[in-house]
A = this chain, B = another copy of it.
Amino acid sequence: MSQTVDRALSILPLLAEGPANLEQVATRLGVHKSTALRLLRTLHEHGMVYRQQDQRYRLGARLFALAQEAVENLDVREIAHPHLVALNERCGHTVHLAVYEENEVLYIDKVESRYPVRMYSRIGKPVAITVAAVAKLLLADLPEPERRTLAERLTYPAYTPRSTPNAAAFLKELATVREQGWATDFGGHEESINCVGAPIRGADGRVVAACSVSAPNVVVTAEELLSLLPLVRRTAEEISREYSGGAPVSASVSHASQNPSQVTAETPEKRAEETSS
Residue in chain B with minimal CB distance to A146: B116
Q: Is the CB of A46 within 8 A of B275?
A: no
Of A70-78, A177-185, A211-219, the stretch lying at the interface with chain B is A70-78
Q: Mark A41-68, 1 if CB is under 8 A from B, else 0.
A: 1111111101111000011111111111
Least CB distance, A169 to chain B, in whole angstroms: 14
Instruction: Return chain B residues, CB-CB under 8 Å to A220.
Output: none
Chain A residues proximal to chain B, CB less than 8 Å: 1-2, 4-6, 8-10, 12-13, 15-19, 38-39, 41-48, 50-53, 58-74, 78-79, 82, 99, 101-106, 108, 115-117, 120-121, 123-130, 142-143, 146, 149-150, 153-155, 157, 203-204, 206, 242, 244-248, 250, 253, 270, 272-277
Give 21 pairs: A residue, B residue, CB < 8 Å, sorted on A: A2-B8, A2-B41, A2-B42, A5-B39, A8-B8, A10-B46, A12-B46, A16-B73, A53-B250, A61-B74, A61-B247, A64-B67, A64-B70, A64-B106, A68-B120, A69-B125, A103-B272, A103-B273, A103-B275, A126-B275, A149-B270
A198 vs B70: C-alpha distance in the bound complex, in angstroms? Answer: 30
18 additional contacts (CB under 8 A) given A6-B42, A8-B8, A9-B46:
A2-B4, A2-B42, A8-B9, A12-B46, A16-B73, A50-B102, A50-B248, A59-B70, A62-B245, A64-B123, A64-B244, A103-B273, A103-B275, A126-B277, A128-B276, A129-B275, A130-B276, A157-B276
A51 vs B274: C-alpha distance in the bound complex, in angstroms? Answer: 35
Q: Is the interface of A mostly helix, strand, loop or mixed?
A: mixed
Q: Is the CB of B129 within 8 A of A117?
A: no
Known contacts A61-B247, A74-B61, A248-B51; A13 and B66 CB within 8 A of each other: yes
Q: Is the CB of B8 within 8 A of A64?
A: no
